[in-house]
Amino acid sequence: MGMISVVTGRFLQAFLLLIAMSLIGFIGIHSVGNPVFNIVNIETATPEDIRRATVALGLDQPIWRQYLVFLDNVVSGNFGTSYIYHLPAFELVIAKLPATLELASVAMLIAAPFGTGLGLIAGRRRGTLLDRTVLRASVSALSIPSFWLAMMLILVGAILTGWFPSGGRGSTASFLGQDWSFLTANGLWHLVLPASALAIPNIALIARLSRSGTIEVENLDHTRFCRAKGLSPRRILLRHTLPNISVPIVTIIGLQFGGMLAFAVVVESIFSWPGVGKLLIDSIQLLDRPVVMATLTFIAVAFVALNALVDLFHAVLDPRVRLSSQR
Amino acid sequence: MKARILSVLKKRPHGPVMTLSKLLLTTYILLAVAAPVIAPQNPYDPLQIYGWEASSPPGTTGSGGYLYLLGTDGLGRDIASTILYGLRISLVVSIISSAAAALIGLTAGVSAAWFGKWVDVAIMRLVDLQLSLPTILIALIAIVTLGPGVDRIILALIIAQWATYARIARSVALSEANKPYMDAARLMRLPTSRIIFRHLLPNSIAPALTLIPIEVGHAVALEATLSFLGLGVPIDKPSLGSAVANGFQYLLTGQYWISLFPGLALFGLIASINFVGEDVRRSLDPRSKSL
């Protein structure tokens, strides 16, 4: 019973969130500027041309009507046609998705083990020079503006040393009908800098979390018992402490993966990585309303779905979550 | 409360990093205040800018008779001066927006706790909605909706940040509302606004206030990111973020100083605010002392 109410409650919440999100996003996009002037030439167009373009884009309808049409289309997977590319907006987003997913996954594959490892070691040796260094480095790493970090990676890794390319995806190989960079050496090379830019703040975040978890668990009775039993510190750390701090770490990994989709906006623009984030910024600047809507909706849906999954996962692993929802 | 704040200022032992951060932050604030006096050039005044000296490397002496300590940008503006003036914009924008967000969030959170019922539901649903999305996404949506401009970006930052304060203020106010002194205020039939603003709010304010320094740091980073994406402060009066963005196109041709130095200044600013903010929060929150 408890589990079912958790699941339904969570999905209802996610659903309401999406409705609110689409409404806010729609109104937001609507007030940006008149997209008619993107498809007709301002200098040569007659009022008749402008009127026909307005009707063709459905912009003559009242705004609530446009929203309903939009909602109807969203449910049927139709976000309209891009004003610029003349392709279905949703298809454009999906076409850019593998690049973003690839970037975020590689970044998380770097960040999760590094962050957890650093946090475990720092928490184990609490108060030592190493611990203080990790803690301070993590506050500093979280203070670096993501765009500046990306630019400095380009400066050091590409311009000064020439080790890595400064942008683009490099050569790709086809797998499951999509192009992936990580399958070719050249593509992997192109991944290094943007993935590091996304990974570094997350290493810091995960390290802090696993450090405080480790400190907490190391003071519990069962760890003391292990120590009294004479287990080696390494075994205690990996077999007893790590499983006990894994729930919050998996949670933050899930949440941050969603956050990466949002932060990809910055990193992708800088590294000209042809993903969803770059598409969003380009479309905002070109006033390509259907694409902006499709992209924002997509990021929001992905984020909300990830959050819901993480919460459910949490409820499966941790009985206290189930209990608290029954009150 | 006052005693605790004083104890923070007085006797907390500091490591070298904390001393350095406090020193750095103080320097930043002094520099920002004194910018018009100490900056060699007014980067907003076209008459003081020499276009033919664009992209001069650090250490060049310009026609104005002063040294371009950190070089000039693509338009010939002295980078050191741009940083000093940009610092003012960054600080003013983030302090105003954080203060306003704290005020709005506190009022909303305390009202939610006091009135309960539908007011509580309406406010807290909105808070939940916002806190379940990344701040950068909220800020992006807000700024896309509002359009560019310094006033708009302050508004966007307020929209992005008020919810954090509201959630904390509500939970504190809920526990305060049941204390004897609140019963006394109610029994005295004080007007609701007086109870909220003179009794409940001042007593629920402390935990939310400790958030402000950290949130100012977030606001600086958010403003910089939006400006970098070309959605924030206009380019003719650059904040630190747009100063970095100005230099991006020159980075690939090796004129690193245009983006390096404003970025370093930005990083130092955010880092020192974060270190000091973390310290303030830790010393005012008795729970985290044990950790």
Contacting B residues, span 48-77, partner chain A, CB-CB under 8 Å: none
* pLDDT average, residue stretch B267-276: 86
CA dist., res. B244 & res. A315, Å (int): 44
CB-based burial label for B220 (10 Å; 0-12, 13-18, 19+): buried
DSSP A132-148: HHHHHHHHHHHHS-HHH
Q: Which of B129, B144, B231 lies nearest to residue A28, judging by beta carbons?
A: B144
Chain A CB contacts of B266 under 8 Å are 145, 148
Helix (H, G, I), strand (E, B) or coil at B78: strand
- Confidence at A41, pLDDT banded by 50, 70, 90: low
B271 touches chain A (CB under 8 A): yes
Phi, psi (deg, nearest 5) at residue A141: -60, -35
Chain B nearest C-alpha distance from A250 (Å)? 17
Would you call B248 and A270 a contact, using CB atoms and an 8 Å cutoff? yes
Lowest mean pLDDT among A5-14, A141-150, A219-228: A5-14
Q: Given an 8 Å threshold on Cβ–Cβ distance, is A155 in contact with B251?
A: yes
- Give the residue from B139, B153, B168 showing the smallest Cα distance to B285: B168
Nearest Cβ partner for A266 among B129, B141, B225: B225
Whether B224 and A144 have beta carbons less than 8 Å apart is answered as: no
Contact state of A299 with B137 under an 8 Å Cβ cutoff: yes
Grade residue B289 by pLDDT with cuts at 50, 70 and 90.
very low
Query: Would you call A234 exposed, middle or buried from its count of C-beta atoms within 10 A (0-12, 13-18, 19+)?
Result: exposed
Instruction: Read off the pLDDT of residues A154-182 as tens digits, 9 standing for 90 and up.
Output: 888 777 777 777 777 766 666 666 677 66
Most A CBs within 10 Å, among B21, B28, B123, B133, to test the A interface = B133
Smallest CA–CA distance, residue B145 to chain A, in Å, is: 4
A116 has pLDDT over 50: yes
Measured distance CA(A67)–CA(B93) in Å, rounded:
34
Contact B267 A145 (CB under 8 A): yes
pLDDT digits (tens, 9 = 90+) for B164-199: 888 888 888 888 877 888 888 888 888 888 888 888
Of all residues in chain B, the one with the smallest CA distance to A15 is: B129
SS3 at position A173: strand
Q: Which among B129, B244, B270 has the least Cβ separation from residue A143?
A: B270
Residue A139 structure tokens = 């506050």
Amino acid, res. A216: E
Q: Hey, what long-range contacts does B234-238 have (CB within 8 A, 24 or more apart)?
A: B234/B148, B234/B149, B234/B150, B236/B44, B237/B44, B237/B85, B237/B89, B237/B150, B238/B43, B238/B82, B238/B85, B238/B86, B238/B89
Are the CB atoms for A9 and A55 separated by under 8 Å?
Answer: no
A13/B267 touch (CB, cutoff 8 Å), yes or no: no
The SS3 of residue B49 is: coil
Partners of residue B78 on adjacent β-strands: B72
How does pLDDT run across B21-49, given as a tens digit for each residue?
888 888 888 888 877 777 777 777 766 67
